[in-house]
Structure 1
Amino acid sequence: MESVRKAIQRPQPLPVVLLVFPFRQPQSPGGKPASSPVVEGLKKAMGSYVQITKVDTDAQPEITRTFNVQQLPAFILFDHGLEVWRHEGTIDGQILNQLVQQKVESL
């Protein structure tokens, strides 16, 4: 939890997308959790404009309570520690990219 707080609250040049989802996915090579195409698309489209921080709800269940996450996956955008946008539930990757890009451009 502390590492998540530091990621969203420290002063930094980039907004932070907090990605909250269960890691109940098959492990990929190298021991890292497999990422969905939506997450990979967001990284590719917005990687130089936002910092993406993944949170495993299985390992850190308090995150869902702290940020009042009602549905997974959850994408929460923070700017200087303040939540400025959120989407909960599944979403098409292109639509997610457009929504995040629009919000980041308006900051």
Structure 2
Amino acid sequence: MPFSQLKPPRQAASTDVLLVLLPPTHGEGIASQLASTNASLDRLQTLLEPAIRILRINEASHPAVVSSFHATELPAFVFLRQGIELWRHQGLPDDEAIAPLLLRKINS
């Protein structure tokens, strides 16, 4: 389902967070991939507000936080509710699939 057809959730759940663990921004091809990822995250945040807050965590700035999640591939996405991990995806998910999946998680 395209982003434009999704409806935002009705109730805010202040403790739902999608952590996005990002690779360092140096290296060949990383900058353009990061720009594309950030654009997708901006669209996703617009759809999921106010129910899910997206937090971007760069490995270069916060290596201890990223390593604490034991991500083997970056970017990695970790959905948390009240500090409990409900869903994880390593690598770039399909833009069209992640929003409906997260919206279903909110209601479960």
TM above 0.5: yes
Structure 2 equivalent of residue 39 of structure 1? 41
- SS of the aligned residue for 2:105 comes to helix
- Superposition pairs for residues 53-72 of structure 1, below 5 Å? 53-72=55-74
Distance (Å, rounded) in 2 between the aligned partners of 1:77 and 1:37: 19
After superposition, residues 1-107 of structure 1 pair within 5 angstroms as: 13-24=14-25, 25=31, 34=35, 36-106=38-108
Paired residue secondary structure (1:52): strand
Please give the per-residue CA displacement for 1:32-91, whole angstroms capped at 9, x wherever unaligned.
Answer: x95623211211110211111110111111222201111111111111111111111012
Equivalent residue of 1:63, what SS? helix
SS at match of 2:101: helix
Partner amino acid for 1:22? P
CA RMSD of aligned residues (A): 2.0
Give the fraction of aligned pairs with identical amino acids, expressed as a percent: 25
Moved over 4 A (4+): none
- Amino acid paired to 2:14: P
Tell me, in whole angstroms, the C-alpha distance in 2 between the residues paired with 1:70 and 1:77.
Answer: 16
Q: Give the alignment's TM-score, normalised by structure 2.
A: 0.71
Contact preservation (8 Å) 2:21, 2:57: yes
Count how many residue pairs are aligned between Structure 1 and Structure 2.
89
